[in-house]
Amino acid sequence: MSPEWKNAIDSFIAIFANLDFKDGPLFYVVGIIIAGYCCMEGYKIYKMILSGLGFIFGFRVAYLLFGNLGWNNEMLLMTEVFLGLVIGTVTYKIYLAGVFVAVLQFGLVNFPVYVEAYLGNRLNFGKALNGIIITVASAVLAVVVAKLAVGMNRTVIVCLTAVIGGFAMVNMFVNLIPVFPYEVSMPEPSSVIWLGAKVFLSMAGAGIQGTKDSA
């Protein structure tokens, strides 16, 4: 193999091995499109959605666990993909596990913003300890909600895919704003405006899915 090809492959592996799913504006634009489809058509493809969320969850967990151990990029990428595939397959094959992982991931991504907004001014233990408390409280809340969701029926899948899609659309849009070439003044991520937009899109998606199902 020529040095040029080897350098190209090494660069490719390095990029994906250290990918934290925040790789520029294209990621967010594609994410908004996928999230919109998930919001409006989620029940039809919920197994694929659960599997995809499981893969992302496993990939991210492997990155967090092993990303700072000094492994070479090939080993790190193989570990991330392996754990992603394992959890993705489990969430596809085992319905309840998929629901749990999907709701858990949704909670871990979204709850910290609102837990921090609620507890931020009530905690006076120092910035580091406050951050730990908020993280732990968010994780516990996410686990509780995920466990409650496991015992629910088809309506949960409709609501889950609609909420995940609706919330993800707004989150992706908020993350896309800073990469605009012009200055855009927008509310803070924890603003009630964004929460209202998430709730509205989620309700719209659940309503559309329910209408299609009953037609």
In a domain, 14, yes or no: no
User: Residue 31: pLDDT above 50?
Assistant: yes
- Of 10-19, 76-85, 161-170, the least confident: 10-19
Q: Is residue 6 part of a domain?
A: no
8 in a domain, yes or no? no
Question: Is residue 7 included in any domain, yes or no?
Answer: no
Give Cα separations from 186 to 27, 190, 194 (angstroms). Answer: 20, 11, 10
Question: Distance between alpha carbon 131 and the CA centroid of its chain, in Å?
Answer: 20
- DSSP letters, 29-77, are HHHHHHHHHHHHHGGGGHHHHHHHHHHHHHHHHHHHHHTTTT--HHHHH
pLDDT of 91 strictly over 80: no
Domain assignment present for 156: yes
Count of domains for the chain: 1
% of the chain with per-residue pLDDT over 70: 77
Q: Is 30 among the domain residues?
A: no
